[in-house]
Chain A
Amino acid sequence: MNRIRNARRSFLKILAGLFLLPARKACAGGIFQSPVATNRLRPPGAVSEEIFTGKCIRCGRCIEVCPYRSIIQLDARVGIHAGTPLIRAEDVPCYLCMKCVEVCPTGTLRRIRQEDTRMGLAVVDRHRCITWREEALCRTCYNVCPFKEKAIRLDELRPVIDEKYCTGCGLCTHGCPISTEDGRKAVNIEPLYSGLRR
């Protein structure tokens, strides 16, 4: 009897959930939760995250064409975002070769120039960066940055990001030798622009 009641309860829950789908979208949780987060980025030229999942047809051509295997394909565990491309900056960053934007058939990745890419913004965690803590003289992020002296410059030997030039490619995150227990680095890419630009 209890099992039947439980079955009925879960059935009613599912039913109610179906009716409340649009409402749930508004609070953006569960299966609608976007996979974009710190160091979890969309490929270059991506449209705003609100329409990304509606526009992308999951054809995987950006993933296949990426020569660095930077882009991975998400699966059904991320709900309706299954099949969309994602870059995990600390694993393999984007080298800004701009091949993926050339092949996207739906315009989800817009054809933009390399320096116009805004996948996110690098943020130096000054409490974790050993240079900022004055424990060592590390400038790996500065060395690997493709827009050296523009996106990252050294201010009294300490790295400083300029949001005017930072593309959010994640090369600095990938290169950063400091790993914290929550899987982050001392410099992380925050997907600032993913919700703002269309």
Chain B
Amino acid sequence: MIPTKERKKTSTITRWRLFIQACAFLLILVNPFLILHFHFTFIQGWYQSLGIGKLWIVSPLEGMESILVARHLYPPLLVGMLIPILLALLLGRVFCGWICPIHFLSDLSDRLVTVVTGKKRIRDRFILPRSIFWYSLVGEFLLAMILGAPFFVFLSPAGLVGREIMNAVFFHTLAVEGVVVLLVLGMNLITRRFYCRYLCPLGALLALIGSKRKLKVRRNPNACVSCGLCDRACPLGLKPSLDEGKSVHCWNCGACVDACATNALSLEWHTQANNLPELPVDHAPGSSPAPEESKR
């Protein structure tokens, strides 16, 4: 039996993540009001391109599509894509897990659903092969080239949230494509983060860039008792108990780390030193000394 107090103490990563997500969401929520009423244009845009003073941040997928479709290189665009690409190279899909407004809204709606239905967790009812993720990225690029317009940019849920907020504040209207956001949130009812798991081309691109990332969820096989708490906590349906936290799909949100009862999981900076082969496992998962009942 794990005391509840101790369990609470370990949820620090989730709390930090929610804080950062909330700040990132507040930024795009409050900023249009600041611009409209105070002409404070120091920060413009949302998570397609964010301008903070002279610092420009451009989403790499949109930027690449723009370059490919228009066949013209614009140096400031390349510089703007640098920060997100570096972030993805080192930390993986952290944009998805820690900043993206869709993940934040999904988190909130998940909590709402658990309150309304009274169920403790939402099941993943519909599982697809994860390779769809890569087809989605390739298909997206092909579609953009065929249409002659960067397709993702006007239907990207991550950008649409910001656009709808801006349109609502500035012009008191909502664009019709905001339905996409509702659809994406609705798909969470079928499978948690269905869109983020299988369909998001931006997530796929960030995952691809971050395939050799430094920050990974590391499992200490000696401490792990294979209780499966982490597998249930993962919003992407990965199985950290089988070291799937090291896969490209993981977005380093740390939900599994917080769920772990034995502190066997940790987010760790991967260097050459701890890149050594795993220590031999002391006990097979089946013959674990701590039976599963003890942790409920």
- Are B51 and A54 within 8 A (Cβ)? no
Q: A158 CA to B270 CA in the complex, in Å?
A: 76
| Known pairs A21-B147, A64-B44; A57 contacts B175 (CB<8 A) | no
Secondary structure call for the B interface: helix
Q: How many residues of chain B get a CB closer than 8 Å to chain A's CBs?
A: 43
Q: Within 8 Å CB of A63, what residues of B? A: 166, 170
Residues of A within 8 A of B (CB): 21-22, 25, 32, 47, 51, 53-61, 63-65, 67, 69, 72-73, 75-77, 80-83, 99, 103, 105-108
Q: Within 8 Å CB of A51, what residues of B? A: 69-70, 72
Is B49's beta carbon under 8 Å from chain A?
Answer: yes
- Are B177 and A76 within 8 A (Cβ)? yes
Q: A47 CA to B72 CA in the complex, in Å?
A: 11
- Are A76 and B148 within 8 A (Cβ)? no
18 further interface pairs, Cβ-Cβ under 8 Å (given A61-B51, A106-B77, A107-B77):
A21-B147, A25-B148, A51-B70, A57-B48, A57-B150, A58-B153, A59-B46, A60-B45, A60-B46, A61-B45, A75-B177, A76-B176, A83-B154, A83-B163, A83-B175, A103-B44, A106-B66, A107-B72
- Are B66 and A82 within 8 A (Cβ)? no
**8 Å CB contact of B69 from A54, A75, A83:** A54
* CB within 8 Å of A: which B160-175 residues: 162-163, 166-167, 170-171, 175
- Are B80 and A105 within 8 A (Cβ)? yes
Q: A111 CA to B128 CA in the complex, in Å?
A: 47
* CB within 8 Å of A: which B12-54 residues: 31-32, 35, 39, 41, 44-46, 48-49, 51
Is B285's beta carbon under 8 Å from chain A?
Answer: no
